[in-house]
Structure 1
Amino acid sequence: MSAAPPPPRAVTFGELMLRLSPPGQERLFQSPQLRTGFGGCEANVAVGLAHLGVRADYITRLPDSPIGQAALHALQAEGVGTGWIALAGGGDRMGIYFVEPGADIRASRVVYDRAGSAFAAITPAMVDWAKALGGAAWFHGSGITPALGDGPRAALSAAITAARSSKARISVDLNYRPALWQGRDPRDVIEPLVQGADLLIGNRDAVRVMLGVEGPDDSLAQRLAERYGCRRVALTRREVLSASEHGWSAALYDASSGGAWQSRRYQVHVVDRVGGGDSFAAALIAALAADRDPGDAVQFAAAAGALKLTIPGDWNRATPEEIEQLVRACT
């Protein structure tokens, strides 16, 4: 009997940050305690992929400090490959973000303290992109990275170019963060990065602001695929009923077949709203990399995103079996 083929290898690239949040549903600095953790869009996707059986390598730049080393160890403990992470010496720091959980009518809040981070100073030459992406089946990046400066933008562009050269499939999650763009128009920056992507992920607001595209729900994904030459487009929908209750669903469009699939809508009691979209992206990438039927893939991904909303922290702790069980229970 021949050995089973190794799982596909995926590479993600972006900034990893130190996460600080108050216990329970307290406001920031209401008590002297802050809980620590690590997170960031592309790191969250890498962890999600590793938990779903995909060989996931994560590329970033961290300070060579006790905090940077703790971040490395945290990623390694989740099964993420860290061999391509660049370490910065000197006075470089790690970006921080504070998460204040919401409750009922009080919205959650995220405060960034990431200016001058080690990652913000990254340049394309700091990573051997051809080697890092050699043999990769998938590359994932997001619209957060180019908002952080010219160096991160150029590095992401270099990564996408190398991914194309290595025949890896490419996904881009728009991930619009108003605080990072600070009134700048993202369209001229984002459009070249999503052109020809194998998978474009976003939501109606991100698509409108970052790409200037609007339209009815049933035709928006198709318009995006046609305008940017994307193979597939996934759109998530989060209905914020209150800070504690969200509706969650997603749709997937396939340009080659013209097929469109809608997931089930979940109504979720929210424990932590951070990371739901990243968990969706990880599960969708894992399913599509395994050549699952697109309809099954979007159902699996939507269930993964919904389950993450019930789990504290940035990283999804739901197992593949639990995700599949939720899909079956709601079919």
Structure 2
Amino acid sequence: MGKILSFGELLLRICPDAEGNWIRENNLPFYIGGAELNVATALSLWGMPSAYMTALPKNAMTEQLVAYIGDLGIDHSAVQFQGERVGLYYLHKGKDLKNSSVIYDRKYSSFSTLKTGDVKWEDVFKDVSWFHFSAICPAVSEAAAAVCEEALKEAVARNITVSVDLNYRALLWKYGKEPVEVLPALAKYCTVIMGNIWAAEKMLGIPVPADLSGKENYLEQAEKTSRIIQERFPNCETVANTFRFDEEGGVKYYTTLFTEGKFQVSKQYFAAEIVDKVGSGDCYMAGLIYGLYQGKSIAETLDFATAAAFSKLFVASDATNLKPAEIMEKVKNYEN
């Protein structure tokens, strides 16, 4: 088996405190992340042959960032050096990325200005057997969306497994197209599609009843959505849906997998207090790849991916720092 290549924008998450003390204290914490780098980080930590591709300007700071990626055990030979800036976003620590308090500063970043023809895919895909990207990539710019399609065509031509995370970031879609106008053309190349029923509605046009509520109905809709995805996109073999609810008193989490005509539901977890919501979905995606890449059973894959995502809620950074045994131990007391 070859490398697992994750493709997306490297970001610096700047974390001002909500009270504004960062100004008086001259202290502004940050994390290195980006959805796809979070996936690559987890896979490397778990012993997988993880690789990462992004675009960065060529300067002393990005040399340090690339060295950091290498220190994580991630193959960074496919990183493209071009453009003028690294993407940033600002988010109060612990807040959800979909929260309105997020501030993006990514316009004209090196990644957003990538164009078709810039990348020598025959070199990038050498020894790669799995290609992962997220719906954040085509949201960044119309040019980046075209590069995604170019990459997917090249990957499928080489019989590379393709996975996508349908993570929706409303504040990023600013170039005149709605996600549903872009994502179906990319999803048709994908072997594994992960998201949730509402993301599938927004990005793939698969409707969800407006008054839907309750776990039983959510699960029923997840199965319907999964079947429709496989009908519309015949290359898709596996569909995953995640459910995370911030309820009074804590966070509830469970997920589903649909593959080989079978619909399976994970354990449910609940925690009264968590540390950081950022990167939980990325950790689920990494867990899904981890299981499927190794040929583990669907039950094992679902179990581990769900536990990995839930355990990330207790890690204060964009990516997990927990190994598989630590993950399974961590979630033992949270089954609900």
Same fold, TM-score > 0.5, yes or no:
yes
What does residue 201 of structure 1 align with? Answer: 194
CA positional deviation for 1:19: 1.3
Say if 2:260 is the partner of 1:260: no
Report the TM-score when normalising by structure 2: 0.88
What does residue 54 of structure 1 align with? Answer: 48
1:28 and 1:80 map into 2 onto residues whose CA distance is 36
Q: Partner amino acid for 1:247?
A: K
For 2:22, which of 31, 39, 43 is the aligned residue? 31
Q: Partner amino acid for 2:60?
A: P
1:327 and 1:133 map into 2 onto residues whose CA distance is 36
Say if 2:310 is the partner of 1:316: no
Mark the runs of 5 or more structure 1 residues left unpaired by the alignment: 1-6
8 Å contact 1:186–1:210 — kept in the other structure? yes
Mark the runs of 5 or more structure 2 residues left unpaired by the alignment: 209-220
Alpha-carbon spacing, 1:327–1:31, altered in 2? closer, same or farther (3 Å): closer
Report the TM-score when normalising by structure 1: 0.89
For 1:235, which of 234, 238, 241 is the aligned residue? 241
For 1:97, which of 82, 86, 89 is the aligned residue? 89
Q: Partner amino acid for 1:15?
A: E
Q: Partner amino acid for 1:282?
A: A
Q: Partner amino acid for 2:20?
A: F
For 1:140, which of 122, 132, 148 is the aligned residue? 132
8 Å contact 1:135–1:166 — kept in the other structure? no
SS state of the match for residue 91, structure 2?
strand
CA positional deviation for 1:102: 5.0
8 Å contact 2:310–2:331 — kept in the other structure? no
Q: Partner amino acid for 2:178?
A: D
8 Å contact 1:20–1:98 — kept in the other structure? yes
Q: Partner amino acid for 1:53?
A: G
Alpha-carbon spacing, 1:29–1:75, altered in 2? closer, same or farther (3 Å): farther
CA deviations on 1:149-185 (whole Å, 9 max, x unpaired) are: 1221121112111211221111011111000114742
1:225 and 1:212 map into 2 onto residues whose CA distance is 14
SS state of the match for residue 289, structure 2?
helix
What does residue 217 of structure 2 align with? Answer: none
8 Å contact 1:97–1:114 — kept in the other structure? yes
8 Å contact 1:8–1:54 — kept in the other structure? no
CA positional deviation for 1:108: 7.8
The structure 1 segments of at least 4 consecutive aligned residues displaced by more than 3 Å after TM superposition are: 324-331
SS state of the match for residue 299, structure 1?
helix
SS state of the match for residue 321, structure 2?
coil
What does residue 67 of structure 1 align with? Answer: 61
CA deviations on 1:267-326 (whole Å, 9 max, x unpaired) are: 132211100000000111011000000111011001000111110110101111112335
SS state of the match for residue 317, structure 1?
coil
Q: Partner amino acid for 1:206?
A: A
8 Å contact 2:139–2:172 — kept in the other structure? yes
Greater shift in the superposed pair: 146-155 or 43-52: 146-155
What does residue 4 of structure 1 align with? Answer: none
8 Å contact 1:62–1:94 — kept in the other structure? yes
8 Å contact 2:239–2:257 — kept in the other structure? yes
- Give the superposed CA RMSD: 2.1
2:276 and 2:94 map into 1 onto residues whose CA distance is 9
Count of residues in Structure 1 that have an aligned counterpart in Structure 2 = 314
Alpha-carbon spacing, 1:187–1:112, altered in 2? closer, same or farther (3 Å): same
For 1:251, which of 256, 259, 269 is the aligned residue? 256
What does residue 216 of structure 2 align with? Answer: none
For 1:302, which of 292, 299, 306 is the aligned residue? 306
8 Å contact 2:252–2:268 — kept in the other structure? yes
CA deviations on 1:48-101 (whole Å, 9 max, x unpaired) are: 111111111111100112331222122112111111101126xx1111111213
Say if 2:276 is the partner of 1:275: no
Alpha-carbon spacing, 1:167–1:328, altered in 2? closer, same or farther (3 Å): farther
What does residue 228 of structure 2 align with? Answer: 223
